[in-house]
């Protein structure tokens, strides 16, 4: 026997509409319960998010710490928000603190991410803790159950009931010794250290028979013959004539001799011509051979410098040996005193 309730042909349109409404009313709770059960299963497995703010109210521009805590499985991945952007954010990031592990029990891991922020917009700020959650093919935003509130207050300036005064002049405060006492202590310590170093230096110099003032004295000039011999050694090491620089070689050689004559005999040979130098040499006492060697060097040098003569290798070596012998034979004689019990006589040392 057929049931007339489910036989559509036996139903009128009014009865059919009423039947459909009854079916929808009974089926909808079942479908909604099934969907809620599915979402509940997903939410139970998803990480749990919570948050906190260390203060409930601040002044504008003050700083506060905002923390987000996540309780999740060790294999689940979450991404914390960033406050490093510029422009529309109501907060300015002062310090981005690293993620900290609070606890771990089996596969459950509880972590916390904290931010030090500054607020520059007054009012009541509502913050919902949130993180980005990624698991297999699921990418979703998870929110905390509680909404956090932060009151940001500012200063109210009453410009109507207070008079505006001019800028006050600078005040001259009395001097206090405490302002410079710290500097004076370090100055005294430094002076004591310097005094100890100077005393130690004085004792060391006294051991070697010298004084502190000797350090600041310029070094005594070298004797003219020593400077000339050092310059000749440097000239030999340059190998000028071996490289074809005959003019430079003879110019340097004669300049060394002219500087030696100026220092040894007080003759301004550096500003004299060859003839003037030879004429001035005749007025001083020196060995005849040395005078002749000097004249030969100066004449040969003029031929190379002005007549473009190219001497042979033997002539170049001979000119150098003659210049060295001239300095060696005309240098001052050192007097060495030898004391004898009967007849002390000074002896000359070449």
The model's pLDDT over 311-341, given as tens digits with 9 standing for 90+, comes to 898 998 999 999 999 999 988 876 655 555 5
pLDDT at 234: 93
Instruction: Find the range with the poorest average confidence among 103-117, 123-137, 326-340.
Output: 326-340
Residue of 205 and 214 predicted with greater confidence: 205
Does pLDDT of 83 surpass 80?
A: no
The model's pLDDT over 12-61, given as tens digits with 9 standing for 90+, comes to 434 434 444 544 455 455 444 444 544 444 456 788 999 999 999 998 88
The model's pLDDT over 240-249, given as tens digits with 9 standing for 90+, comes to 999 999 999 9
Three-state secondary structure string covering the chain: CCCCCCCHHHCCHHHHHHHHHHHHHHHHHHHHHHHHHHHHHHHHHCCEEEEEECCCEEECCCEEEEEEEEEEECCCEEECCCCCCCCCCCEEEEEECCCEEEEEECCEEEEEEEEEEEECCCEEEEECCEEEEEECCEEEEEECCCCEEEEEECCCCCCCCCCCCCCCCCCCCCCCCHHHHHHHHHHHHHHHHHHHHHHHHHHHHHHCCCCCHHHHCCCCCCCHHHHHHHHHHHHHHHCCHHHCCHHHHHHHHHHHHHHHHHHHHCCCHHHCCHHHHHHHHCCCCCCHHHHHHHHHHHHHHHHHHHCCCCCCHHHHHHHHHHHHHHHHHHCCCEEEEECCCCCCEEEEEC
pLDDT at 9: 37
* Average pLDDT estimate for 298-317: 90
Q: Which residues contact 332 (CB under 8 A, 6 or more apart)?
A: 223, 225, 264
d(CA 76, CA 134): 7
Q: Is the pTM of this model over 0.85?
A: no
The structure tokens 């004689």 sit at 333
pLDDT at 235: 92
pLDDT at 86: 57
pLDDT at 288: 87
| 57, two tokens | 């109210």
| 97, two tokens | 């603190």
Q: How crowded is residue 33: how many other Cβ atoms within 10 Å of its Cβ?
A: 10
Burial class (CB in 10 A: 0-12, 13-18, 19+), 297: buried
* Average pLDDT estimate for 99-122: 90
* Whether 240 contacts 255, CB under 8 Å: no
In whole angstroms, what separates CA 159 from the centre of its chain? 50
Q: What are the φ/ψ torsions at residue 136 (nearest 5 degrees)?
A: 55, -115
* Whether 109 contacts 139, CB under 8 Å: no
| 214, two tokens | 């000797």
Average pLDDT, the chain: 80
* Average pLDDT estimate for 85-97: 74
pLDDT at 2: 38
Band (pLDDT 50/70/90 cuts) for residue 89 is low
Q: Which residues contact 94 (CB under 8 A, 6 or more apart)?
A: 63, 116, 117, 118
d(CA 257, CA 290): 12
What share of the chain has pLDDT > 70, as a percent? 79
Three-state secondary structure string covering 215-280: HHCCCCCCCHHHHHHHHHHHHHHHCCHHHCCHHHHHHHHHHHHHHHHHHHHCCCHHHCCHHHHHHH
| 222, two tokens | 């070298």
Instruction: Find the range with the poorest average confidence among 90-99, 130-139, 235-244, 269-278.
Output: 130-139
CA distances from 42 to 47, 99, 138 (A): 10, 25, 11
pLDDT at 60: 87
* Whether 208 contacts 239, CB under 8 Å: no
* Average pLDDT estimate for 62-78: 90
């Amino acid at each position: 026997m057929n049931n007339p309730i489910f036989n559509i042909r036996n139903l009128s349109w009014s009865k059919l509409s009423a039947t459909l409404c009854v079916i929808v009313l009974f089926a909808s709770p079942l479908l909604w319960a099934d969907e809620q059960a599915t979402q509940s299963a997903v939410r139970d497995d998803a990480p749990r998010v919570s948050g906190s703010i260390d203060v409930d109210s601040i002044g504008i521009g003050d700083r506060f710490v905002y923390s987000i805590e996540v309780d999740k499985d060790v294999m689940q991945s979450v991404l914390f928000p960033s406050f490093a952007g510029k422009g529309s954010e109501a907060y300015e990031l002062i310090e981005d603190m690293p993620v900290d592990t609070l606890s771990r029990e089996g596969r459950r891991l509880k972590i916390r991410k904290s931010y030090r922020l500054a607020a520059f917009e007054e009012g009541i700020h509502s913050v919902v803790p949130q993180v980005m959650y990624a698991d297999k093919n699921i990418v979703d935003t998870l929110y905390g159950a509680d909404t956090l509130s932060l009151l940001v207050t500012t200063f109210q300036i009453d410009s109507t009931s207070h008079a505006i005064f001019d800028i006050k002049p600078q005040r001259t405060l009395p001097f206090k010794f405490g302002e410079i006492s710290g500097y004076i202590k370090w100055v005294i310590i430094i002076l004591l250290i310097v005094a100890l170093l100077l005393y130690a230096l004085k004792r060391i110099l006294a051991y070697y028979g010298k004084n502190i003032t000797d350090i600041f004295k310029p070094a005594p000039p070298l004797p003219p013959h020593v400077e000339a011999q050092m310059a000749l050694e440097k000239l030999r090491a340059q190998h000028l004539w071996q490289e074809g620089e005959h003019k430079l070689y003879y110019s340097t050689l004669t300049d060394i001799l002219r500087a030696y004559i100026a220092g040894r005999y007080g003759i301004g040979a550096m500003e004299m011509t060859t003839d003037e130098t030879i004429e001035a040499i005749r007025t001083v006492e020196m060995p005849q051979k040395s005078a002749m060697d000097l004249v030969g060097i100066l004449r040969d040098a003029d031929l190379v410098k002005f007549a473009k003569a190219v001497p042979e290798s033997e002539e170049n070596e001979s000119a150098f040996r003659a210049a060295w012998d001239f300095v060696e034979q005309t240098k001052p004689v050192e007097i060495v005193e030898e004391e004898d019990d009967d007849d002390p006589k000074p002896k000359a040392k070449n």
